[in-house]
């Protein structure tokens, strides 16, 4: 008999008496055969009375194993003895005295202790076991029927396959008798309290002291293989956990789950996530760097999978089973990679989200025909889990990548985002390995630069004129206030203020100097406006002048802002129209071939473009695309000039635009400056293009004071004769198409600081062109 302890507070004794009583009371009366068997066993029990009493020495069970097995035949039918996982234990303990061969093989160590681990912690298991025996006391002693169906799963390693098996243990207490040393009556209040606290052994022990009860008999333990259900449940938890698919440990755990589920210890798992035409490969917990999500070499395009078994599975839109990959004819490079990895048998399953292909799951084995048709059925049950996991993983990964890009680089143009994502992937991989890391340099070599600008001619002068007019109006309103009839005659100081305002107006009329606007406003705000209350009381004419002053002020700026507002509205409208048109043109150009594009707006719009093989993620670059964009630049300039002409009718201020294109045939290198969060040319040799670009808009025609850029005309600046010849050809074509007016000026330019030998051609835009009008209309209306 087990003595009382904290782990087992009840007295427990092994006995076969409840089983013998079951034979006598229920089995023997069922038929004559059973009665005859009982009579024979009764004769044997008479010779071994210790089997019916408390069994202190378990050796007697071994000694009389044949009789014990016959008694147990009603508990463990002989037909299932070899296959079922069943055993008999000492009550309240995990000490077996009779177990089936399968139970022993999977669940017991050589010393009779249990193998593996429970799916719950030891404290939870201890409490659940205590509650179960308290419920047995309530049932047997007080007639209170309450059950605890608490799942108890033991995870063990199959000695044959090495895979984990999940076995649910279900204890049966039918052959356990409860003996009470002292029967304590429970009041209705006691029972109500007990029912309220059935899950709290500490409270139950106050009403049912453990030392007052003894359990006689044995516990029957049934074990059921629930590997499929448990593994799917754990797989679901793994797949919804953040980061599982992107860590070696997490993905390796997923692979172990699938090995247990399919019963293949050598099963390998591969996963491909698809974003657009990009495929991100993940296999075997990233054991090989080239197969990791973060590895550049495995960021491939869907075109590379054409003709492979993976492509065939996607086309069939169902699970594809390959009995032996060696038997597949016309194998692709992707197929050969499977064979090189030792994979012969394959199951390939496309993953979908709302009918959109988002990935492919493949299960491989090194033995031919290792994956059977029944495995296809099993795979179909877990595909939704992987679809959800891939969708969520891609969402999380994109958020992480975008967060880093936003932090380090702000907004990144779509044409080069792939390179930044590539750098972030590598950075994340190094971080995952515990290595110090920062984003690697982003450099594109041998790219062709293209630059263009459409400037508003005379905008600076117009802005100054608007400021000057507003200041004069403001001063005039102040002069009206202090010069109202009768004011200056009766109050000489107002006459002095009027004199000063008149003098200030004369200065402003001559031109705006540095700080003049602030000087004028400070005078009006400090010396004139504080007198308004006083002046308003001098008479109705003075009060009217004050109201006129106040009514002319901008509510937010506290100054006259009429002409400047007209100017800024006109400039904003012109900028908006030009920028919107440039964006629509750029969208079409981007569709022809991806390229970097950066636009700036001030008084007009300017842009810089870069294109080259290093910027094309998937290759396929040809210099023909650069020539195409140079022609495109001329057509865009024509469109902006034509729109400016149309807008002039609605302008209060009449503006013209000038158009400039800079040609640079030699490729250069650009580098992303993380501190400035922008691209810049890389290296001293290439800096010349940057210098020209920053100064060319001020260029003069050689030998005079004429500006190169003129309203309604396009100026193309170049340095090599072949560049000029190329652009002449494009201009001739566009003149034929009606975009440009016949005639072409070939010019040399004055030297600029640090820049010599520049040449230019200049051509006039046909502002009445039907061809330009049609192009603008098509892009504007999207037709």
pLDDT per 10-residue tile (average), the chain, 783 residues: 62 91 81 78 86 87 90 90 93 89 93 89 86 90 82 90 92 92 86 89 90 92 92 87 76 90 91 75 45 39 75 87 90 87 92 88 92 91 88 76 67 74 76 77 89 88 88 91 69 86 89 84 90 86 90 89 88 88 91 88 89 82 92 95 84 80 88 76 63 81 89 92 94 95 92 84 94 89 61
Quick one: pLDDT at residue 292? Answer: 37
Quick one: pLDDT at residue 733? Answer: 95
Residue 294 is classified by DSSP as T
Q: C-alpha angle with apex 516: 514 to 520, nearest 5 degrees?
A: 165
- In terms of C-beta density within 10 A (0-12 exposed, 13-18 middle, 19 or more buried), how is residue 485 classed? exposed
Quick one: pLDDT at residue 288? Answer: 32
- In terms of C-beta density within 10 A (0-12 exposed, 13-18 middle, 19 or more buried), how is residue 177 classed? middle
Residue 632: name the closest of 670, 668, 591 by CA: 591
Domain map (residue ranges) of the chain:
11-157+166-220, 229-432, 459-558, 566-781
Quick one: pLDDT at residue 390? Answer: 86
Between the CA of residue 727 and those of 172, 181, 742, what are the distances in Å?
A: 93, 111, 15
Q: Would you call 620 helix, strand, or coil by DSSP?
A: coil
Model confidence pLDDT, tens digit, residues 401-437? 767 666 666 666 777 777 887 787 777 777 767 788 7
Would you give the end-to-end CA distance of the chain in angstroms?
93
Tell me how far apart the alpha carbons of residues 656 and 642 are, in angstroms, rounded to a whole number.
10
Q: Would you call 164 helix, strand, or coil by DSSP?
A: strand
Residues 6+ apart with CB under 8 A from 666: none
Tell me how far apart the alpha carbons of residues 507 and 472 are, in angstroms, rounded to a whole number.
10
DSSP letter string over 192-228? HHHHHTTT-HHHHHHHS-GGGEEEEE-EEEEEEE-HH
Quick one: pLDDT at residue 133? Answer: 87
CB 179 within 8 A of CB 214: yes
Residue 188: name the closest of 142, 234, 236, 246 by CA: 142
H or E element that contains 339: helix 333-340
Between the CA of residue 61 and those of 11, 16, 47, what are the distances in Å?
A: 21, 10, 14
Domain 229-432: give its CATH architecture: 2-Layer Sandwich (3.30)
Between the CA of residue 477 and those of 304, 486, 518, what are the distances in Å?
A: 76, 17, 17
Which own/partner pairs from 648-655 qualify as long-range (CB within 8 Å, at least 24 positions apart)? 650/573, 651/570, 651/573, 651/574, 652/566, 652/569, 652/570, 653/462, 653/466, 653/566, 653/567, 653/570, 655/456, 655/457, 655/458, 655/459, 655/462, 655/570, 655/571, 655/574
Query: 567-596 burial string, b = 16+ CB within 10 Å, else e?
Result: beebbeebbebbbebbebbbeebbeebbbb
Residue for token digits 């999940």? Answer: 166
Tell me how far apart the alpha carbons of residues 250 and 540 are, in angstroms, rounded to a whole number.
86
């Amino acid at each position: 008999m087990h003595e009382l302890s904290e782990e087992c507070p009840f007295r427990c004794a092994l006995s076969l008496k409840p089983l013998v009583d079951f034979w006598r009371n229920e089995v023997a009366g069922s038929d004559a055969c059973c009665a005859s068997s009982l009579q024979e066993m009764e004769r044997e029990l008479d010779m071994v009375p210790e089997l019916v009493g408390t069994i202190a020495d378990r050796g007697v069970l071994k000694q009389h194993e044949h009789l014990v097995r016959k008694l147990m035949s009603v508990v463990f039918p002989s037909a299932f003895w070899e296959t079922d996982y069943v055993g008999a234990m000492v009550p309240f303990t995990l000490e077996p005295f009779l177990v089936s061969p399968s139970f022993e093989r999977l669940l017991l160590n050589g010393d009779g202790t249990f193998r593996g681990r429970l799916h719950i912690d030891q404290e939870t298991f201890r409490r659940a076991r205590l509650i179960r025996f308290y419920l047995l006391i309530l049932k047997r002693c007080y007639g209170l029927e309450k059950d605890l169906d608490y799942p108890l799963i033991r995870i063990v390693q199959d000695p044959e396959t090495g895979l984990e098996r999940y076995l649910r243990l279900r204890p049966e207490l039918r052959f356990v008798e409860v003996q009470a040393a002292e029967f304590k009556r429970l009041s209705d209040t006691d029972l109500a309290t007990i029912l309220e606290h059935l899950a709290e052994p500490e409270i139950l022990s106050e009403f049912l002291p453990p030392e007052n009860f003894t359990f006689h008999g044995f516990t029957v333990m049934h074990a059921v293989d629930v590997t499929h259900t448990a593994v799917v449940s754990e797989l679901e938890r793994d797949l919804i956990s953040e980061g599982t698919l992107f860590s070696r440990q997490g993905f390796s755990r997923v692979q172990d789950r699938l090995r247990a589920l399919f019963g293949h210890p050598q099963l390998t798992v591969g996963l491909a996530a698809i974003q657009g035409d990009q495929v991100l490969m993940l296999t075997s917990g990233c054991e090989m760097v080239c197969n990791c999500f973060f590895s550049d070499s495995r960021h491939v395009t869907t075109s590379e999978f054409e003709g492979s078994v993976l492509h065939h599975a996607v086309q069939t839109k169902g699970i594809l089973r390959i009995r032996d990959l060696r038997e597949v004819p016309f194998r692709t490079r992707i197929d050969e990679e499977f064979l090189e990895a030792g994979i012969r048998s394959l199951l390939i399953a496309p993953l979908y989200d709302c009918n959109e292909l988002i990935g492919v799951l493949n299960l491989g084995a090194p033995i031919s025909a290792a994956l059977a048709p029944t495995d296809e059925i099993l795979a179909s049950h877990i595909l939704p889990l992987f679809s959800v996991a891939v969708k969520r993983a891609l969402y999380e990964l994109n958020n992480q990548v975008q967060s880093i890009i936003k932090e380090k680089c702000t907004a990144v143009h779509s044409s080069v985002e792939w390179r930044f994502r590539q750098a972030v992937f590598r950075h994340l991989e190094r971080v995952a390995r515990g290595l110090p890391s920062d984003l690697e340099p982003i450099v594109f070599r041998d790219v062709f630069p293209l630059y263009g600008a459409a400037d508003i001619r005379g905008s600076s002068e117009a802005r100054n004129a608007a400021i000057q007019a507003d200041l004069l109006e403001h001063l005039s309103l102040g002069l009206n206030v202090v010069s109202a009839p009768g004011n200056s005659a009766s109050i000489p100081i107002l006459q002095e203020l009027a004199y000063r305002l008149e003098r200030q107006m004369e200065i402003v009329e001559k031109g705006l100097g540095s700080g003049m606007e602030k000087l004028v406003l400070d005078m009006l705000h400090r010396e004139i406006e504080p007198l308004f209350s006083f002046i308003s009381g001098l008479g109705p004419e003075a009060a009217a002048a004050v109201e006129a002053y106040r009514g002319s002020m901008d509510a937010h700026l506290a100054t006259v802002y009429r002409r400047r507002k007209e100017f800024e509205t006109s400039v904003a409208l012109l900028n908006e129209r030009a920028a919107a048109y440039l964006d629509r043109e750029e969208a079409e150009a981007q569709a022809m071939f991806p390229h970097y594009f950066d636009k700036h707006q001030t008084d007009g719009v300017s842009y810089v473009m870069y294109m080259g093989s290093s910027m094309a993620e998937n290759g396929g670059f040809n210099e023909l695309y650069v020539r195409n964009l140079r022609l495109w630049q001329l057509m865009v300039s024509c469109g902006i000039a034509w729109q400016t002409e149309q807008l002039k009718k609605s302008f209060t201020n009449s503006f013209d635009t000038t158009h400039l294109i800079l040609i640079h045939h030699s490729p250069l290198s650009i580098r992303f400056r993380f501190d400035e969060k922008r691209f810049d040319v890389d290296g001293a040799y290439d800096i010349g293009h940057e210098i020209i670009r920053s100064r060319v808009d001020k260029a003069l025609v050689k030998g005079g004071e004429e500006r190169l850029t003129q309203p309604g005309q396009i100026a193309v600046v170049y340095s090599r004769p072949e560049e000029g010849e190329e652009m002449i050809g494009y201009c001739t074509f566009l003149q034929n198409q009606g975009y440009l007016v016949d005639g072409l000026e070939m010019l040399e330019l004055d030297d600029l600081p640090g820049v010599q030998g520049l040449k230019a051609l200049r051509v006039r835009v046909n502002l009445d062109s039907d061809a330009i009008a049609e192009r603008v209309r098509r892009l504007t209306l999207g037709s």
